[in-house]
């Protein structure tokens, strides 16, 4: 199992906007480079891209949850 970690401290968002579907849902396959969420830092949004590939993503961090740099956002099989 591999982990995807937050590159920055901030607020984690699983979708690009509240009325949009999440970038990835629990159970989705993930490829290297796929956007799995956004980190907001001082009104600036940064894409979180997967650096691993796998068949089953499970989010450990909830939508709109504050995170620190290095916090585990998701796990991938």
Q: What is the residue-wise DSSP string for 62-75?
A: PTTEEE-TT-EEEE
Do the strands 10-13 and 65-67 form a parallel or antiparallel pair, or are they unpaired?
antiparallel
pLDDT at 34: 98
Note the pTM of the prediction, 2 decimals. 0.93
Q: Which CATH number fits domain 2-76: 2.60.40.60, 3.40.50.300, 2.30.30.90, 2.40.50.100?
A: 2.40.50.100
pLDDT tens digits for range 31-76: 999 999 999 999 999 999 999 999 999 999 999 999 999 999 999 9
CB–CB of 65/11 below 8 Å? Answer: yes
Residue spans of the domains in the chain: they are: 2-76
- In the block, tokens 């939508």 appear at 63
pLDDT tens digits for range 1-23: 899 999 999 999 999 999 999 99
């Amino acid at each position: 199992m591999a982990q995807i970690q937050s590159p920055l401290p901030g607020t984690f968002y699983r979708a690009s906007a509240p009325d949009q579907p999440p970038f990835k849902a629990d159970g989705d396959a993930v490829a290297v480079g796929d956007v799995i969420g956004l980190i907001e830092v001082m009104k600036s949004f940064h894409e979180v891209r997967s650096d691993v590939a796998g068949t089953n993503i499970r989010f450990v961090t909830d939508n709109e949850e504050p995170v620190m740099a290095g916090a585990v956002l998701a796990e991938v099989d």
